[in-house]
Structure 1
Amino acid sequence: MSTPMIPMRNRNKFKLGTFSSNCSGGLAVTKAPERWVNSWENNVKLAQLVDEAGLEFMLPIARWIGYGGETNFHGSVLETVTWATGLLALTKRINIFATVHTAFNHPVVVAKQIATMDQIGNGRAGLNVVCGWNKPEYDALGTDLPSDHETRYGFGQEWFSLVHKLWQEEGPFDWNGDYYQLKDTYSLPRPVNPRVPIFNAAGSEHGRVFATRNADFLFTPAIDLDKSREEIQQLKKQAQAKKREVEMLTLSYVVCRPTQKEAEEYHEYYANEVADWDAVDNIIRLMFEHAESFPKDVIRTLRNRMAGGHGGYPLVGDPDTVAAGIQKLYDTGFAGSTLSFVDYVKEFPYFRDEVLPRLERMGLRMPIAEAERQENE
């Protein structure tokens, strides 16, 4: 079997992927009856749709307890390693990521899991590293959440360095670190490629040091695009100082309809009139107390964005408006974005048929036939 080019390394100027389809509700914190059902059947349908459409990746959220509210948002979640492994076996082109908490998963086990995924997907596995922030999840698993980011990311750095070494070494080695002491450890088989794509989302100073040192793609929110432009430049310089290239991604949610009026009316309905505000407020409270993915001075101003798509950049409108919004993200310096929908399987085909061709005409993406031809060159 030949090894395909890693989809995240293709020549599309703006990468696209789905986010959180393994979670109940997806990213829409709403009581709307048509909200996403995260069944395995629905995830397989979505994976095959986006694979055939030429999207680069699927990214899950690792979640262990829900956020409460009437819907108990994210109360049901398909575990990400098994989710990704199953979908890799049922797709052909797309990168599929597992999201892994460093504190909850032993690095030797994860190294072998990801390598196994990569063997099954013929080089299409990815790893999204999470160093932790959601204290109730730590409580649910009987683990302490360090209060300071220096400790969280110090542990995360040793964890990731160990995973990376396990992918590089062919024979047994000893490891004597601050957090792990291992003897004659190794992990075979290794990934198909020397390294799988690494995602990380970080907002704190320590987090961004970690991300620019280790990740290939760093997630950061698009709140004020002028500020995002400056932030992206700073992060790229930070990575370049370490002789690394790191691309910046963001998260978006999509409400695309034939007319602007239809899109705005539906957005008002699900993200305001029938939003699960108790769950929204729980998310905001927890992020304010423990996370730095979003600046604290703007978290509470993002309440409507939290309901619409977990704080993502809103792409709400007719196909021209949605495509123009994606162009703005690209012009800001983002290399790509996640996408979410209230109902991914029902709504993605319209995005595929109407928005993707516009992005191709704008030069942000290639038709899938052209992308495949270049992959085979």
Structure 2
Amino acid sequence: MNSRPAGRRRGVRAEVLRGPFDPGGQPLVTRENHLHLSLFAWNVRNGLSASKAVLSNPQRHQDFWQWPTASKLLKETERAGFDSQLQYGMWSGYGGATGWNEAQLDFATAATGSAAVTERLGIYTTIHVGYEFHPVLIGKMTASIDHISAGRLGVNIVAGSNAADYAQFGLDGPPSQEVRYAIADEFTTALKYLWTSDEPVDFEGEYFTMYGAQVNPRATSRPRPLLIAAAGSDIGLDYATRQCDALFITSQDNDVEGYAKRAKKIHDMAAEHGRRARVCAMCYVVMEQSDAEAADTVEWMKSQIDDDALQTWLVRAGHVLNSERQQLDSDQVGTSRTEEAKQDPYLGIGQKFYESLGLGMGAYRLFGSYETVANQLIDLYEAGVEQVALCFFDPLKGVQEMREHVIPLLRARGYHQNPV
């Protein structure tokens, strides 16, 4: 038992330290006949584009994260009828000729700025746990953002696994997967107490301790802000279905059938805990007026993939696409990749994986005409994917094309309603 600091006020003892824990219930998870559209990765250089094609027009393809452009992009996103924006949480980029993800707006500043320049758009931000951020600090910041946005906040909780990020904070890491998700579980419970409790809270967990802890203002959202997670392993899915409301999934074969199987698993796991879950997918979009034009753009982008940036990504991921897996030794992997790259134009990972990383970091691909993209989105929705986080090679152009062409098609076919 931890000892209470001298002179500190007493709080209501937290009886629950791990999920499932939903004081006041869950937020609204889904809307009938509505595909939730979110703009993703607008706050980092290049977004999900690891192709030197971005250098053809850096202002449009690379530096859209800079605030004069980003603020316009967010306003256009709201005007287009998107439901939310979701920031990509980054602390370490991947370099290369494109400086892939080397510059970014942080989770709190980007969310606050987004709230100030929009009126309806959901403000979804990404927070890493494991870097010794305390729940009181994050609780105060997020409750303030929720207040400024008038209750539009969503929080994506990431159990950090990037060794370079841990090193930046002076930490040895990452810890085991079990520990990372135990930290996330406890952190999330503490955050829910801070967002909702009218009384100060005493919380004595294995990883976090709070005495007389309270934030004011508390979260404006009722019953609390939406919680998001991305997980692939059973350990990660167990945490996410017990504690979060929206879950990002992937499919090993990156096909609709795989997403349908994964979506069913998520819904079944959430139901076991008496909860609901919105199933989400990260998507990379290259749209043109025709399928042929889009295919030409895609082939050009593939020919320009930034090998150095991809190699750094592979080193940090331990040559494993699923970030749930333990990382390998960086020096060994880096040497191995370099030697293989001399013999293999695909860095030793195969053409399919190579191109998937270079164009979308493994996201589901939406390549084609406006009608093709609309049909692909409908296929995902019918497979059980209720939210898509869209990242565009050219974000401003992509958002405008969604407004003018794709969203009207979705609405005409009954798959998207006016945002609320």
Q: TM-score, normalised by structure 1?
A: 0.91
**In structure 1, C-alpha distance between the alignment counterparts of 2:362 and 2:324, rounded to whole Å:** 9
Query: Shift in Å at residue 230 of structure 1?
Result: 1.4
What is the Cα deviation at residue 309 of structure 1? 1.2
Give the direction of change, closer, same or farther, for the CA distance of 1:217–1:88 in structure 2 (3 Å limit).
same
CA offsets 1:10-58 (integer angstroms, 9 cap, x no match): 5552111111110000111111222231201111111101111221111
Equivalents in 2 of 1:266, 1:24: separation in Å? 20
The count of corresponding residues between Structure 1 and Structure 2 is: 361
Equivalent in the alignment of 2:62 = 36
> 1:289 deviation in Å?
5.4
What is the CA distance between 1:157 and its match in structure 2?
A: 0.8
8 Å contact from structure 2 (residues 29, 278) kept in 1: no
Letter in 1 for 2:362: G
Letter in 1 for 2:226: P
Letter in 1 for 2:42: S
Match of 1:164 among 174, 189, 192: 192
1:46-195 aligned at under 5 Å gives the runs 46-104=73-131, 105-192=133-220, 193-195=222-224
Which stretches in structure 2 are left out of the alignment for 5+ residues? 1-26, 327-348
SS at structure 2 position matched to 1:316: strand
1:1-377 paired onto structure 2 within 5 Å: 10-11=31-32, 13-32=34-53, 33=55, 34=57, 35-37=61-63, 38-104=65-131, 105-192=133-220, 193-222=222-251, 223-270=254-301, 272-288=302-318, 292-293=322-323, 301-366=352-417, 368=418, 371=419, 375=420
Check 1:7–1:209 CA distance in 2 against 1; reply closer, same or farther (3 A cut): closer
Other structure's SS at 1:127 match: strand
Separation (CA, whole Å) in 1 of partners of 2:157 and 2:257: 28
Q: Aligned partners of 1:53, 1:9: CA distance in 2, in Å?
A: 20
AA partner of residue 262 (structure 1): E
Between 239-248 and 163-172, the greater mean CA deviation after superposition: 163-172
Moved over 3 A (4+): 6-12, 288-296
- When structure 1 is superposed on structure 2, of 276-285 and 65-74 the one drifting more is 276-285
Q: Secondary structure at the match of 2:126?
A: strand
Letter in 2 for 1:60: Q
> What is the Cα-based RMSD across aligned positions, in Å?
2.0
Higher helix share: 1
In structure 1, list runs of 5 or more residues that go unmatched: 1-5
Counterparts of 2:403 and 2:62 in 1: how far apart (Å)?
A: 18
Instruction: Return the alpha-carbon distance in structure 2 between the equivalents of residues 353 and 136 of structure 1.
Output: 41
63-72 or 335-344, which deviates more? 63-72
Measure, in 2, the Cα distance between the counterparts of 1:20 and 1:279. Answer: 17
8 Å CA contact 1:221–1:294 kept in 2: the answer is: no
The two structures have a TM-score, normalised by structure 2, of 0.82
